[in-house]
Amino acid sequence: MALPPDGRKRVVIEGVTPEIDAGRFPIKRVTGESVVVEADVFADGHDQLACRLWYRKDREREWHFVPMTSLTNDRWRAQFVVTDVGNYRYTIEGWISRFATWRADLLKRVQAGQDVRVDLLIGADLIDDAASRADDADSARLLAWAAQLRKPGAPANPSAGLDETLAEIALRYPDLSRATRYERELVVVVDRERARFSTWYELFPRSCAAEPGRHGTFRDCEKWLPYVAEMGFDVFYLPPIHPIGQAFRKGKNNEPTATPGDVGSPWAIGSAEGGHTGIHPELGTLADFRNLVERAAKAGLEVALDIAFQCSPDHPWVREHPEWFRRRPDGTIQYAENPPKKYQDIYPLDFETHDWAELWKALRDVFLFWIEQDVRIFRVDNPHTKAFAFWEWAIHEIKARHPDVLFLSEAFTRPKVMYRLAKLGFSQSYTYFSWRNTKEELTEYFTELAGTEVKEFFRPNLWPNTPDILPEFLQVGGRPGFAIRLVLAATLGASYGVYGPAFELGENVPRSTGSEEYLNSEKYELKRWDVDSPASLRALMTTLNRARRRHAALQRDHTLQFHPTDNPLLLCYSKTDGEPDGDAVIVVVNLDPVHTQHGHVELALADLGIRPDRPFEVEDLLGGGKFLWQGPRNFVELAPDRLPAHVLQLHRRVRTERDFDYFA
């Protein structure tokens, strides 16, 4: 075994957090957030240690540092704030602090009444050493202290060596010649705030026409902007807007054969009119699309575009680049399958083609084209069926040019695959929320997302429904079931979305028993929606989204905490904004869409900044009313046919009983 470069470096740095897969992948933050870093820093023997957290922006050469604070058991902590979109780097440096060690030992010897004359001379040498690294003013002060410690002909006076000001100055100028630098520079990807907090509304533009049976246009779509904005959404998400193939076009209800007039699936992309950079001619022109993006921005909405890397048999790439598709032994191109399901109207791309490099560039350029049209958010369809290496390269390439671009991963697949995609660069991710219904399921899953290392790289975006997913809970739960899932999505997640207007209007009829597909699915036909229906959840959506905008606690995921209840059908959790005595919201949800449920919640008062001997006020942001609670145990009763949940703003101040609707 070879000798180390310098065996005199005695400090060990390990157990660094956050660090993803030994630094292979970055962590994620948004502007204004802190990066709290901890590490085990220790050495042999009993010497005093010191360490620093170093950080810098990728675009800057100069490093900045903050001192780390000792916790317990050789654990240290420090933090820094990320202020700009882009990448940051951080690492840790630790060293033996000879001055701090000398000072601590001097104090012990003085307290024991020992002769410290030699110790003062040792200290003088250490102070001289620090003075050699100090600026002129501090150097002069340090040298004066050293002279006092060496003053001959008088009894040893240790007070100068124990002076607090001396320690503060001397420790500014440590000897780093034998410092240990952590072996890795770790990376933080910093996004804009919408990566953490966003509220999505999905709408098919072709169904926006006012007249039944007419194909909608972007101009029609513009008329929906006030409706979506007034409900409090900020992302206006459009399914694919490209030309749709004619060959093997699917009919209504996903029938394998289309009839005249069937509009086909928007995910069967490409025709003679163009491919992934083309626009379906019945929707309008590129100028019309750009106008929609501009009008949406004026309404406070940001347009998100669906990117699905698959082709209809009519896509120009099938003719121009046949090598990008896999062929079967009979010479035909392999269409998409999920046995026993067949999707003859879709050709997957072959990421093992010999021409993979050109394929990668073409797919990257699709994103760049739409970025030129002022789109900055992309929902990516089925990214788990494309090469991991492609996504890492493409997202890095795009964000290097446009760091404000965000990517939502629509990958309903195995957990490790979903997490890998997030590590590779996707800003947000779909989740298993659609299939987590019980108290135990929700608690276990969201504790994993918000309370483990996963929170450092995986940002969940919760969807109670999608054009592909009509969960059983919505099929059988009626209007209360939709309300329950809406409240859960909007409060468990800082980002959530709905496929509308199907959601607020309670569209819940499956194609067949046991199916999660919609009967008369909008994926295959034009729809007309009565958004003024009295059964609509529009008002509840608006109230919830207003609460989300007003309360910073609901704009974060990592502060989520579950609280016990004595009824398995009542779920209770809280969120805070992370600041002492800051914004806090408590949510209690009846998970039963049929029956009224009641019981007691057990709050962790200390975590919410509440004294156990003082009453506190909670205000219901959904149903209105103020309640005075006291102690950790409080009673709730929720009727699903009225409102199945409390979303309670916590007020720590106390007023009088007359101000409240209920006094516990």
User: Which tokens is 264 given?
Assistant: 């086909």
The strand order across the sheet containing 198-202 reads 428-429, 406-410, 377-381, 302-307, 235-238, 198-202, 495-499, 461-462
Residue 117 burial (CB count, 10 A): 12
Indicate the SS3 state at residue 49. strand
Sign of the four-CA dihedral 306, 310, 315, 318: positive
Phi, psi of 228 (to 5 degrees): -70, -45
Instruction: Determine the 3-state secondary structure of 118 from DSSP.
Output: helix
What count of other Cβ atoms lies within 10 Å of the Cβ of residue 529? 19
Q: How far apart are the C-alpha atoms of 399 and 408, rounded to whole Å?
A: 14
* Residue 10: exposure state from Cβ atoms within 10 A (0-12, 13-18, ≥19): middle
Asked about 381 being catalytic, the answer comes back as: yes
Per-residue exposure over 324-363, b if at least 16 CB sit within 10 Å of its own CB, e if not: bbeeeeeeebebbeeeeeebbbbbbbbbebeebeebbebb
Q: Active-site residue 504, yes or no?
A: no
Question: 3-class secondary structure for 319-382?
Answer: HHCHHHCCECCCCCECCEEECCEEECCCEECCCCCCCHHHHHHHHHHHHHHHHHCCCCEEEEEC
Cis peptide before 501 (omega within 30 of 0): yes
C-alpha span between 79 and 637 (Å, rounded): 42
Angle of helix 388-401 versus helix 356-372 axis, rounded to 10: 40
Q: Among candidates 180, 179, 185, which has minimal Cα distance to 19?
A: 185
CB atoms closer than 10 angstroms to residue 71: 10
- Taking the mean position of all CA atoms in its chain, how far away is CA 142? 49
CA distances from 269 to 47, 265, 333, 344, 371 (A): 67, 8, 16, 12, 19
The two structure tokens encoding residue 428: 């947000």
Specify whether the CB–CB gap between 325 and 313 falls below 8 A.
no
Cα(50)–Cα(174) distance, integer angstroms: 9
Q: Name the 3-class secondary structure at 424.
A: helix
Instruction: Give the DSSP H/E element, type plus range, for residue 63.
Output: none
The catalytically annotated residue of 19, 191, 202, 381 is: 381
Catalytic residue chosen out of the listed positions 119, 220, 306, 410? 410
CB 430 within 8 A of CB 409: yes
CA pair distance 396, 192, nearest whole angstrom: 16
Residue 388 CB-half CA count within 13 A? 9
Contact by Cβ (8 Å): 597, 569 = yes
Residue 545, H or E segment: helix 538-550
Joined tokens for residue 51: 């360490």
d(C-alpha 271, C-alpha 332), whole Å: 18
Q: How many CB atoms lie within 10 A of CB 638?
A: 24
3-state SS, residue 597: strand
Rounded distance, CA 571 to CA 568, Å?
7
List active site positions.
381, 410
